[in-house]
Amino acid sequence: MSELAPASPALEQAGALVPKTVSLWQVFLQFLIIGATSFGGAVPYLRRALVVKLQWLDDKQFVEMLSISQSLPGLNATNMAILLGDKLRGPLGAFAAIVAICLPGGLYMFFAGVFYRIHGDHGWVTDALKGIAAASVGLILATVVQLAKRSLSDHFDLVFIGLTVLAINLLHLSVPVTLISVGLLAILWHHPRTAPAEGLGAPEELEK
């Protein structure tokens, strides 16, 4: 929360922000750097580089893009790359941004896969992997808690969370069936009349 709020220099000059001309190469390079250094979630790195350091866009624009990214299918990191790239340099910028942000991690995982194929059944690798997998479960649970805290609008939302888990883990319904049926219910529950004017808690995502 605090990371976004008043301390940001970019926010103070939001009104005075002049649209800069950014070359396609600069877009590619920045997203490549972020793709190579953003361990543990790309969004805070994107904001730090593009909003705070380079001032290619202001916080308001960034947060709006984040809220679009979160409500569409796709990963936040790649959706943000598309929206930011398009804003900075049009369709080619979007293409350069998503390729660049995926490239370093993609190469890393390619070689991790090759290594795993050769050494994956060695005792010490298996033990380390078990530890990694268990830690990942903790990490996902923490994400569940943080996401629930900032993105839910009322307590009744817990029912939709419960229904989703029930449908998938107990009734073994497929993800699309669950997504469409529970999603539709939840959207109808939040139909326009009941929705208060205040926005989603998107900015807090930045803190992650």
Does residue 69 touch other proteins according to CB under 8 A?
yes
If one asks whether residue 135 binds other proteins (CB under 8 A), the answer comes out as yes
Considering CB under 8 A, how many residues would be counted as binding other proteins? 102
Element (H, E) at 153: none
CA distance 151 to 199: 10
Interface residue with other proteins among 36, 50, 88, 204 (CB under 8 A) is 36
Q: Which of 17, 24, 78, 204 binds other proteins (CB under 8 A)?
A: 78
CB 132: neighbour CB atoms within 10 A?
9
* x/- map, 143-182, other proteins, by CB under 8 A: xxxxxx--xxx---xxxxxxxxx-xxx----xxx-xx--x
Residue 15 sits in the site that holds other proteins (CB under 8 A)? no
Nearer to other proteins, 9 or 74 (CB): 74
Tokens (6 digits) for 89: 């340099």
Instruction: Please state the φ and ψ torsions of residue 192, each to the nearest 5 degrees.
Output: -45, -40
Q: For residue 41, what is the DSSP state?
A: -
13 vs 144, which CB is nearer to other proteins?
144
Site string for other proteins, 49-68 (x = CB under 8 A): ---------------xx-xx
CB 173 within 8 A of CB 167: yes
Tokens 């943000």 label which residue? 80
